[in-house]
Amino acid sequence: MKRITVFCGSSAGAQPIYQQQATELGTKLAQANIELVYGGAKIGLMGAVADAVMSNGGKVTGVLPAFLKAKEIAHTGLTELIVVNSMHERKTKMNELCDGVIALPGGFGTLEELFEMLTWAQLGLHQKPIGLLNTNHFYDSLVQLIHHMHQQGFVKDINMQMIIISPTIDDLLEKMNAYVAPTVNKWINEETV
């Protein structure tokens, strides 16, 4: 992986560990010569991961909708800042630029971005590894919900493999590097019922 998109909160969260892990991830990406693609903001976990990549000599591309740039949250010290017209255009561009995706803790926007990438993978629109960094058990309830969706017949066995979950950065990156995308059609036909 030469470029990883990171989705994460525009706030720092309630526990210092979230910002510490964002900083550690940025540091490790730069040390591994992996470029960061992210949402382009200077605040919260977004700013922390970008700052860490840049302070360790790495490259950072931010992708920010114009309406957010107008709110003065754009990070001005990036390698490149791409301004787009919409949130959808932002996700599309971030997907085009990366070889893999990692979600750190965040709110509604982070979940929306994560699940859009998972949906695109499920539909065969990309075959990139999608990692969930489960810092401080932040995503335990979400993982439980995903397993419930699977048990209730809404997520296939093979599609469960599309999300890589780990509480540690090194383990997550190792699993993402070894990822092989499943090649199964999402749609159920009469022969599979």
The structure's pTM equals 0.93
- What whole-number distance in Å separates Cα of residue 193 and Cα of residue 190? 5
Q: Which residue has the tokens 């335990």?
A: 140
State residue 43's pLDDT score: 95
Structural domains of the chain ordered from first start? 3-192 (3.40.50.450)
State residue 187's pLDDT score: 55
Q: What is the mean pLDDT of residues 121-146?
A: 96
Report the mean per-residue pLDDT for the chain.
93
pLDDT of 172 > 50? The answer is yes
State residue 151's pLDDT score: 97
State residue 71's pLDDT score: 79
Q: What is the mean pLDDT of residues 40-66?
A: 97
DSSP state of 41: B
Q: Strand, coil or helix: what is 1? A: coil
Q: What is the mean pLDDT of residues 124-147?
A: 97
Which pLDDT band, with edges at 50, 70 and 90, does 171 fall under?
A: very high
pLDDT of 192 > 50? The answer is no
Pairing mode, strands 100-103 and 3-7: parallel
Q: Strand, coil or helix: what is 140? A: helix
* Distance, first Cα to last Cα, the chain: 37
